[in-house]
Amino acid sequence: MDQFVLTDKHTYIYTYIHTYIHTYIHTYIHTYIHTYIHTYIHTYIHTYIHTYIHTYIHTYIHTYIHTYIHTYIHTYIHTYIHTYIHTYIHKDGTDIHTDRKTDIFPW
């Protein structure tokens, strides 16, 4: 059996294949990992930030608007009804609690 002798041609082919495979694998893995990590991190961060900001803004706006509207409506309605009752319904000066004349209203 002849012994295998590594010639310059073999060395060249070996080096080429080795370099090609190494470069390909390195590039592929690096690209894949980079893309994966970047995509994952980007997606995660974007999702997290979007969710957080959306939730925060939603909660803030909802709370603010709810509180504002509730306070405004409550105050407005209460004031309006109170004023209306005292001014129009009992403009004759009758006390709304006792239905007796009072000097609260000068007219």
Residue 62 counted as domain residue: yes
User: What's the pLDDT at 77?
Assistant: 84
Question: What's 101's DSSP letter?
Answer: B
Q: Is the pLDDT of residue 72 over 60?
A: yes
Question: How many structural domains are present in the chain?
Answer: 1
Residue 102 counted as domain residue: no
Q: Is 5 helix (H, G, I), strand (E, B) or coil?
A: coil
96 or 64: which leads in pLDDT? 64
Range of the domain at 69: 30-86
Residue 76 counted as domain residue: yes
Percent of the chain with pLDDT over 90: 0
Residue 82 counted as domain residue: yes
User: What's the pLDDT at 74?
Assistant: 85
pLDDT, tens digit, 9 for 90 and up, residues 15-60: 888 888 888 888 888 898 889 988 988 898 889 888 988 898 889 8
